[in-house]
Amino acid sequence: MAIIFFYPKSIFYLLFSCLMYLTTISSIKAQPKFPGKEHLLSTPKKYTVFFNSEAAKIDGKLDDEVWKNVQWTENFKDIEAERKPLPTWNTRVKMTWDNKGLYIAAELLDPHVWAYSKSYDDIVFYDNDFEVFIDPDNDTHRYYEFEVNALNTMFDLFMPKPYRNGSGAMIAYNAPGMKWAVDIQGTLNNPSDIDKGWTVEMFIPFWAVTIGNSAKLPVDGDFWRINFSRVEWKTEVKDGKYIKLKGAEGRNLPEDNWVWSSQGLINMHYPERWAYLHFSKQASGDSKNSFTIPYSEEQKKHLWYVYYLQKDYFQKNKEYASDLSKLGIKDIIFQVSGKENKLWMEAGPHQFMIFINSDEQVYSVNDEGLVQMRKKESK
């Protein structure tokens, strides 16, 4: 026997209202935090570099006792992350440090190792190469780049600020005291055989990446921004030599860019996208999980979101937006990791500065991408 229940209409209206509310809440939660810019605001990778009082021998072979208990990073991915396929050949890096500087070891698998640039400060990325990018103070300005090919040719340079902000490279910069070496597991520039790949060792003195009159040594708990890139060209063999493949217009086909922490776009000169390198005075530990990215870095994502929107606005209107509402931003007080934050902007047609509060600090980024921190003004 079927039992039929009769409910007042108000009950159905209540149930319907609850359903609509839950649907709305679900929709709100599903909305992206940084619409259209998610690829530029994902969380970069991190690595804890542990202290070692014994220096590595810089010969490119990676067989020193120093390296035996040091963890490798994850294998590199395409510079645009999941937007592109995984690299053809794996690349990975490991690091340690002492009171003098940072030691880097890299392994690049490659069945055909080649290089032709031989002179110091040649444009090394015209060959396949391995590249290091370092921003010691995490402000996106005053950073360093080191490139080396399989011939052990070094190209080191200093950037006052990124190219996107009107800078050029200071190629005359030569890192004082730097050491580097390459070892080839196979034969260089010999298309007739199959190689395993090549390895790189670098020692970068803290003095070489310091602005000022004395070397700034990291202390336990400090972090830098760092990233690594591998440039790999598509080639063919002609007359026993590796030649870059060309497209229909006679230009070289675009190179592959494989990186440790994905940039989200084909441009390494977005320092805010680089990984976090955490310095620890411990002798060993878990390099990938022993560091928590600071809360302030989550706050800065909101600054960068507005920065990217302002740059888009300028491209379209030839001037910057005068207020946040013109960029589609309505909420200026919101939660970041459960804490209340306030976002505001000061802007004219050709300059801007965006701010976000942080308990006792205020962080800002300006139209040149310079990140700064200051204490909150007392009321």
Residues 214, 218, 220: CA angle, nearest 5 degrees: 145
pLDDT at 117 over 80: yes
Could you tell me what percent of the chain has a pLDDT over 70?
91
Can you give the pLDDT at residue 331?
A: 87
Lowest mean pLDDT among 136-145, 295-304, 320-329, 331-340: 331-340
Residue pLDDT, tens place only, 85-108: 999 999 999 999 999 999 999 999
pTM for this entry: 0.90
Question: For the residues 253-262, what does the mean pLDDT come to?
Answer: 97
Q: Report residue 145 CA to chain centroid gap.
A: 13
Can you give the pLDDT at residue 119?
A: 97
- Among candidates 46, 44, 45, 43, which has minimal Cα distance to 291? 46
Question: For the residues 355-363, what does the mean pLDDT come to?
Answer: 88
Distances (CA, A) of 288 to 57, 276, 277, 370: 25, 10, 10, 28
- How sure is the predictor about 360, in pLDDT bands with cuts at 50, 70 and 90? confident
- How sure is the predictor about 26, in pLDDT bands with cuts at 50, 70 and 90? very low
> 41-280 has which fold?
Immunoglobulin-like (2.60.40)
Can you give the pLDDT at residue 22?
A: 43
Can you give the pLDDT at residue 374?
A: 85
Question: For the residues 17-30, what does the mean pLDDT come to?
Answer: 42
Can you give the pLDDT at residue 33?
A: 82
Calculate the average pLDDT of the chain.
Answer: 91
Tokens of 350: 């050709």
Can you give the pLDDT at residue 225?
A: 98
pLDDT at 77 over 70: yes
Question: For the residues 219-240, what does the mean pLDDT come to?
Answer: 97
- How sure is the predictor about 21, in pLDDT bands with cuts at 50, 70 and 90? very low
**Domain residue extents for the chain:** 41-280, 295-375
